[in-house]
Amino acid sequence: MTSFAIFFTALAVLGLASPVVAQSDDLNQPSVVVALATMQDLQKQDEFVGRVVADQSVDLQARVDGVLQEVNFTEGGSVKKGDVLFRIEKRKYAAGVDSAQAALKSAQASALSAKTELDRQQTLFDKGDAPKSVLDTAKATFDEAQASVDEAQAELEIAKIDLDYTEIVSPLDGRIGLSVVDEGNIVDSDSGVLATVTSVDPMLVSFFVSEPVLLRERRNGSISPQGIKLATQITLADGQTYDTEGKVIYVGDSVSQDTDTIELRATFSNPDGFLIPGQFVIVTLSGSDDTKVLTVPRNAVQFDKQGHFVFSVDDKNTVHRKDIEIGTQTATRAQVNSGLKDGDRVVVQGLQKIHDGLVVQPVDSQS
């Protein structure tokens, strides 16, 4: 073989060897999953199971007896305040009003006659033509007649109230449930609940928080004698977040000895009737004046004799150990008080195969 052939053969070998070396370098760079250090409100990670409850719920019952003549609503439908929902036969009660009115007129006539007689006896007494005993009798007769008028007036009012009770009206705007009695049945005050009307807008969500959470909110001023400054969001059963934020309006007055929790209630606008009583929801809680803090995924944080640290990856994909100070922690994230800045990439998976100064192939976390 000539020297030129040997030279070109060597070049060819070198040319083929070069990409093999480069491929070997890539294979020596381990893949790791990285996530960003971000500013978040850690309180929004507080999640509680809640239940939707109506702001108002009224059981409708009969207050007079009689045949149920009308059921004037669609079960499960919407009703307005003042709508007549049930109508009881009223002829007997209308007649009672007429009778009470007649009794009142009779009592008024008797009282007028007694007053006339009292005035006559008073005139005679003033002239000295009638003894005082006769005048006293006239006064007593008039007082008795006036009392009869008052009694008749009260009986008339009772009769009118009973007549009004033959119409059972909705006390609020809302949605009505099933009717437990049909037209033609006899109802009375012992018939129990005929139907239930519940308010629709707004709706309340009841949930229970632990005593440490309650103490935290009291210390940061979110719950104080001056008011409640807690906002909430809810996640529905399909995983979607309800589009309207709620406001906590009630904090219970005692901690349950069985569960060491206390009830909170938040109000939510519900103009479309999307929320219905009994729904289970996930409640996230936050203060109205919360400030965001720097956080990293909790699985990025490690601990050794020097303290807490993370592995960060720079723009050249080189790993660096960063010692940090952590603050509040939730189930998924940890607050970083020092050692990192917003936007830093930290390793969350592949920690066992890296060390300070290693070049890696980072893959962004999907969560």
Q: Which of 287, 314, 342 is the last residue of a domain?
A: 287
pLDDT at 206: 95
- 218 shares its domain with 340: no
Domain containing residue 250 = 45-56+200-287
Q: How many domains does the chain have?
A: 4
Pair (326, 252) in one structural domain: no
Same domain, 78 and 192: yes
Query: What integer pLDDT is reported at residue 293 of this predicted model?
Result: 85
Q: What pLDDT, on a 0 to 100 scale, did the predictor assign at position 172?
A: 93
**Pure H helices in the chain:** 3-27, 91-127, 132-164, 211-219
Which two structure tokens, joined as six digits, stand for 216? Answer: 């935290």
Q: Are residues 205 and 319 in the same domain?
A: no
Distance CA 171, CA 176 (A): 11
Residue 22 covered by a domain:
no
Check which CATH number belongs to the domain holding 99 and give it: 1.10.287
Whose tokens are 């990285």? That residue is 34
Residues 359 and 299 in one domain: yes
Closest to 265 (Cα-Cα) out of 52, 45, 41: 52
CA atoms within 13 A on the CB side of 6: 3
Count H helices and E strands in the chain, helices first.
4, 26
Residue 348 backbone class (left: φ over 0; alpha: ψ -120 to 50; beta: rest): alpha
pLDDT at 287: 57
Task: Give a yes or no: residue 68 inside a domain.
Answer: yes
Residues 75 and 186 placed together within one structural domain of the fold: yes
Tell me, yes or no, whether 222 and 346 share the same domain: no
Q: Is residue 212 part of a domain?
A: yes
In this prediction, residue 365 carries a pLDDT of 87
Residues 122 and 234 in one domain: no
Quote the pLDDT of residue 260. 85
Q: Write down which residue in 181, 198, 215 finishes a domain.
A: 198
Looking at the structure, do residues 272 and 212 belong to the same domain, yes or no? yes
Please tell me whether residues 72 and 183 are part of one structural domain.
yes
Q: Is residue 11 included in any domain, yes or no? A: no
In a domain, 1, yes or no: no
Per the rule left: phi > 0, alpha: psi between -120 and 50, beta: everything else, 19 is alpha
* Whole-number Å distance between alpha carbons of 172 and 92: 28
In this structure, the answer to whether residues 307 and 204 fall within a common structural domain is: no
- Concatenating the DSSP letter of every residue in 70-128 gives EE-S-TT-EE-TT-EEEEE--HHHHHHHHHHHHHHHHHHHHHHHHHHHHHHHHHHHHHT
- Which residue among 287, 308, 333 closes a domain? 287
Q: Are residues 188 and 151 in the same domain?
A: no
Q: In this predicted structure, what is the pLDDT of residue 291?
A: 65
For the chain, which residues score pLDDT lower than 70? 1-27, 42-45, 287-291, 367
pLDDT attached to residue 42: 63
CATH number at residue 360: 2.40.420.20
